[in-house]
Structure 1
Amino acid sequence: MNSTVIREKMLINGKWVGSEHTHKVYNKYTKELFSEIAVADEKLVDQAIKAAVNAHEQTTFTPEHRYQVLMRMADLLLEKQEELAMIITKEVGKPIADANVEVMRSVSTLQLSAEEAKKLVGEIIPNYNAQGRFLYTVKKPIGVIAAITPFNFPLNLIVHKLGPALAAGNPVILKPASNTATVAIKLCQLFVEAGVPKGYVQCVIGSGRTVGEQLLQDERIAHYTFTGSPEVGKHIQETIGLRKATLELGSNSATIVHSDANIDKAATKLSKMAFSNAGQVCISVQRMYVHESVYDAFLKKFLDEVALLTVGDPLHPDTDIGPMISEKEAKRVEQWVQEAKEAGAQILTGNKRVGSVFYPTVITNAETGMKIVDEEIFGPVVTITPYHSLEEAIDLVNHSKYGLQAGIYTSDLNLSYQIPYLLDVGGVVINDTCCYRADQMPYGGVKESGNGKEGPAYAIQELVKTVTVVVNLE
């Protein structure tokens, strides 16, 4: 047993609060106990909501102060990069190199959010048919925000929610995924150090069925920002009624490799991004459609590149693929692959599980009706399908209940301009995989991939009220 177990409390109303019950977080690779974190009961959640409401109503949090706090946070994350990356690797199973990238992306996201605090401006409205009136708008904070975050990017996805919310002047109650909550608590400690006002950042730990449900039912919360499954996203929307929500939900993202693509470049990049973070990325490459004229050459190159990937201890700097979040999830992926095999799919490599580690798996002859095609597998599995015409490839990509992002490799300039209008997704990536995100870009999908956009400049617009002001000049 690990003798250096981290023990953490929750942040409620500026104080670190323990509780009778704790949640145990385990190292996803070694299975050793990594941390124990206090769990909130109904009374503590209510205290957090009351504190956030009081902060919103009674505390002056000026745009200048918001900017200073967020920039200070960016500096603190940079100082703590090694420690935070190590926590992410241990409690997520993410390779250490990728964990370091996540910390650096979080630094950037905070800096981008800080800049947005200086840009919240209204507008003057032309009074074409309102003579004697001066019309303008002002922006003000929407109120208390509940941020519910997943396990796969336990730092950057939190920052994507807290950064814009604070830049807009809103208090935030954070409910992170319990199994990766250690880094969330560390982040909150840094927010306190950075000088965030009491009540503006709070963290409560607990399950969705208890803590999450209480947050949804409480009408003092004005906005919900959630990343997770479509099922939970639908439940949130049904529960909160007319209150607002930003929902980043599921995906089974696809990338097209057209006949005129750079095959070597496409195969090399796709072999990495299909299995990044053990496939536990919302925009992971799950489906690949390759033109029949280059299919054989692409498949050979792709399999050669996959064979070079290193699977193992995520703390080793050369590891490409570590464990999944749990053995339960790895077994689910294993079952889906087996079901596809029994239905006629061909497994070219992989389909090997050691505990929570599932080896990169490449499948052909996969068809609609199989879970590995229709659903979000959220594991290191990719299907490759040849197509005859571009219209066929577009239909295959669009034939999904999801629509987060898609990618296409092509050297046709005209096609690169046309394709965003033809694919029914929230983002199209040209000459790269669907698994690409820059933190400043508007990020969000259509259909069951959710609604609203993340990216600080875009998210912040969802987190303010626009008030129209009419001045009678007569």
Structure 2
Amino acid sequence: MTPTLENYTLGRWNHDGSAPQELLDASTGDVIALTNTEGFDFASILDYGRRVGNPALRRMTFHERGRMLKALAFHLQEKKENFYELSYRSGATRADSWIDIEGGIGNLFANASLRRKFPDKPFYVEGEPVGLSKGGTFMAQHLLVPKEGVAVHINAYNFPIWGMLEKIAVNLLAGMPAVVKPAVPSAYLTEAVVREIIASGILPEGALQLVIGSGQGILDHVNYKDVVTFTGSAATGARLRAHPRLIAEAVPFNLEADSLNAAVLGLDARPGTPEFDLFIKEVRKEMTAKCGQKCTAIRRAIVPAELLEDVQIALGKALGQTTVGHPQAEGVRMGALAGRAQAELLRDKVRQLAQHTPIVYGSLDEFAVLGSERGASYGKGAFISPIVLRNDKPFEYTASHEVEAFGPVVTLMPYHDVQEAVALANLGKGSLVSSIATNDARAAQEFVLGAATHHGRILVLNGEMAKESTGHGSPLPQLIHGGPGRAGGGQEMGGIRGVEHFMQRVALQGSPSMITAITEVYQTGAKIIEHDKHPFQRYFEELEIGESYVTHKHTVTEADIASFAQVSGDNFYAHVDATSLEGTLFTGRVAHGYYILSKAAGMFVDPRKGPVLLNYGLDECRFTKPVYPGTTIGVTLTVKEKIGQEKRDETDVAKGIVRWLVTITDQTSETVAVATILTMVKKQNQD
């Protein structure tokens, strides 16, 4: 009996919906599963996420959410072979599936590690404080908190696992639940992963819901608290963006659309150079990986006019090694498209392009495919050969820059100088990614500065980075994934930037003391807390934000300056040669800035053994006023922020990082230096 895929909504697995649809094996045409596509109670589904999942995630700190993602990544890693077996049915080879499966799990790991960029709190203090008054009693600070709604992810069919995991990794770290609506043709893969996620029990209830179907009507019920993301065609994205509910409620909408990405061969990249070979390799890989069904795949190959024939021949030879067939058949290097509907649409697009730009490699005609013993055939499967078109007049025949054939298809076109290459790349009217293969730094700079306005990411390929490069078509969780114009104008992922998309930014105004209390980060001018006990003798839990220690005084002498110069080897003229100061900013020999900082440390450090384990580093330091011999300095040490650390294992010491504000003043009470130092401090509770 053919199984029916289930939704996970309102805390249970169910077959809600109607209008069943068959999902087919991309290589054999066999029925894999049925799914219901219409009739969902989206109002209740979204309300459940807001009521149940959102409060649970909002209560957690960034570190807790990050550890949750890490546990989930390890769990899915253990189950990955199950996903590989199922992924073959989407037409993907093992290498193709690696991108989808392990690339998606890798996003969980990367965002789990990103927790260290955030405090161990449910909110995030962003940027520097802003002074708003002359007397320093009125200030502002930007603060980010998780939104109170649900992230609605409407995903594409080409990456049913990665497309979900790369998005939920970010919204979960931000503290927001998700409702995932995968594309129907490959939804069986998304369902398999969600089953494992729910079975693991790692996520709080309501943090993730799955709806398998058309999604018709889901946007009718979103509100201003929610966020909507869409990955897919630019045309569908434009329709969704204009939805009346999104406009009326001002719902944030992130669109990542397929685009006509370009790869440029540099003028210096002649045949025989590493850059020429890298270009051919990258174009071939982007055409054939996932059968060209990647939003970042190369659609336009822009090459020097005099090398057009060389590139056409070299690319043809490279593609000649690409065997097509069932992804599990021996020797197959490229599988099938996601389904016959996608294959027919692709053929129509190629025919449009071929009207003025002839096919110079490959064919739309029937061809033999490998894997007949596994049931694969051209007639039943969604197979197509790699196709290369040639546009000798790319400024005249502009369909190459307007029509996207979403599959193993690329168009070659010539250019004569860098500006022309920029103009051609930009004719795509906004792309997710562009690349240039060159070892000419000047040409690379000219291309990047010219093309940056039209691209979300630019890769510069050369021999130096070839072994470690992730390639043209690999979005990375640390970088934004999106682009302007046709690419949708969105920015997925991107480290902290991606997380902020699911948080609300507020400008917090008040007194330094009040903002210190709210943000748990000390603000200059706030009330200080004094204790009889030296702060270096207090455990991590005992230390309070704003707790301060004022040191004894020290008068700087010429002997201090001379001794520091000898010890440090810093004999800069302003410190050691009073006869060389004419025309400078100094009126006499001046103390080294690092002497002042070192002396300050000597003044505020308690030499006795205590909870402070080590000096962890220096975040920032400014020398604001020259210190001459005879100046008397004093130091105020203040607890600025506390950041708990995780134990690596059971034998590790429980500890945290304390950020201290070090303020050094002279006898006139003017600040001569300010710094933020970090110490690692032991916790009293070692459990």
With the length of structure 2 as denominator, give the TM-score of the two structures.
0.64
Q: C-alpha deviations, 1:83-140, integer Å up to 9, x for none?
A: 11222221x2111222023211112100122233453421451315263135333321
Aligned pairs (5 A) from 1:231-310: 231-239=235-243, 240-241=246-247, 242-261=250-269, 262-310=275-323
User: Which amino acid in the other structure matches residue 35 of structure 2?
Assistant: I
Contact 1:280–1:378 under 8 Å retained in 2 = yes
Equivalent residue number for residue 163 of structure 2: 157
Q: Which has the higher mean CA deviation after the structures are superposed, 300-309 or 96-105?
A: 96-105
Structure 1 residue corresponding to 2:187, chosen from 156, 169, 181 = 181
1:459 matched to 2:464? The reply is no
Structure 2 residue corresponding to 1:102, chosen from 100, 103, 111 = 100
Q: C-alpha deviations, 1:129-158, integer Å up to 9, x for none?
A: 263135333321112110110010111111
Count matched residues. Answer: 466
1:410 matched to 2:438? The reply is yes
1:172 matched to 2:171? The reply is no
Contact 2:54–2:177 under 8 Å retained in 1 = no
Equivalent residue number for residue 382 of structure 1: 410
Contact 2:25–2:339 under 8 Å retained in 1 = no
**Per the alignment, do residues 58 and 300 of structure 1 end up closer, same or farther by CA in structure 2, a change over 3 Å counting?**
closer
| Whole-angstrom CA distance in 1 between matches of 2:75 and 2:220 | 32
| Whole-angstrom CA distance in 2 between matches of 1:372 and 1:278 | 19
| Whole-angstrom CA distance in 2 between matches of 1:176 and 1:359 | 27
Aligned pairs (5 A) from 1:41-52: 41-43=39-41, 45-52=42-49
Q: Which has the higher mean CA deviation after the structures are superposed, 93-102 or 245-254?
A: 93-102
Structure 1 residue corresponding to 2:125, chosen from 108, 122, 127 = 122
Contact 1:55–1:171 under 8 Å retained in 2 = no
Contact 2:231–2:256 under 8 Å retained in 1 = yes
Instruction: Report the CA distance between 1:78 and its aligned residue.
Output: 0.9
5+ residue gaps in structure 2? 119-123, 270-274, 367-377, 463-470, 515-687
Q: C-alpha deviations, 1:269-303, integer Å up to 9, x for none?
A: 32121232121111111111111233222222111
Q: C-alpha deviations, 1:244-270, integer Å up to 9, x for none?
A: 111101201111112212323321332
| Whole-angstrom CA distance in 2 between matches of 1:149 and 1:57 | 21
Q: C-alpha deviations, 1:28-51, integer Å up to 9, x for none?
A: 1111111233445232x2221121
Which one scores higher on RCO, CA 8 angstroms, separation ≥ 6? 1
**Per the alignment, do residues 27 and 179 of structure 1 end up closer, same or farther by CA in structure 2, a change over 3 Å counting?**
same
Higher helix share goes to which structure?
Answer: 1
Aligned pairs (5 A) from 1:301-450: 301-316=314-329, 318-343=331-356, 345-353=358-366, 354-355=378-379, 356-365=382-391, 367=394, 369=397, 371-423=399-451, 424-431=454-461, 434-450=472-488
Contact 2:391–2:397 under 8 Å retained in 1 = no
**Per the alignment, do residues 160 and 316 of structure 1 end up closer, same or farther by CA in structure 2, a change over 3 Å counting?**
same
| Whole-angstrom CA distance in 2 between matches of 1:96 and 1:389 | 40
Equivalent residue number for residue 87 of structure 1: 86
Which structure's CA Rg is the greater one?
2
Tell me the SS of whatever aligns to 2:492: coil
User: Which amino acid in the other structure matches residue 455 of structure 2?
Assistant: V
Contact 1:144–1:220 under 8 Å retained in 2 = no
Instruction: Report the CA distance between 1:310 and its aligned residue.
Output: 1.2
Equivalent residue number for residue 137 of structure 1: 142
Contact 2:54–2:176 under 8 Å retained in 1 = no
Aligned pairs (5 A) from 1:198-217: 198-208=205-215, 210=216, 213-217=217-221
Instruction: Report the CA distance between 1:439 and its aligned residue.
Output: 3.2
Instruction: Report the CA distance between 1:471 and its aligned residue.
Output: 3.0
**Per the alignment, do residues 294 and 280 of structure 1 end up closer, same or farther by CA in structure 2, a change over 3 Å counting?**
same
5+ residue gaps in structure 1? none
User: Which amino acid in the other structure matches residue 53 of structure 1?
Assistant: R
User: Which amino acid in the other structure matches residue 141 of structure 2?
Assistant: Y
Tell me the SS of whatever aligns to 1:324: coil
Q: C-alpha deviations, 1:327-365, integer Å up to 9, x for none?
A: 232223223333443435243333334342110011113
| Whole-angstrom CA distance in 1 between matches of 2:312 and 2:109 | 41
With the length of structure 1 as denominator, give the TM-score of the two structures.
0.91
Tell me the SS of whatever aligns to 1:140: strand
User: Which amino acid in the other structure matches residue 89 of structure 1?
Assistant: Y
Q: C-alpha deviations, 1:158-204, integer Å up to 9, x for none?
A: 11111100111101111111111112112222222142111110011
Q: C-alpha deviations, 1:301-343, integer Å up to 9, x for none?
A: 1111110011111123642221112223222322333344343
User: Which amino acid in the other structure matches residue 136 of structure 1?
Assistant: Q
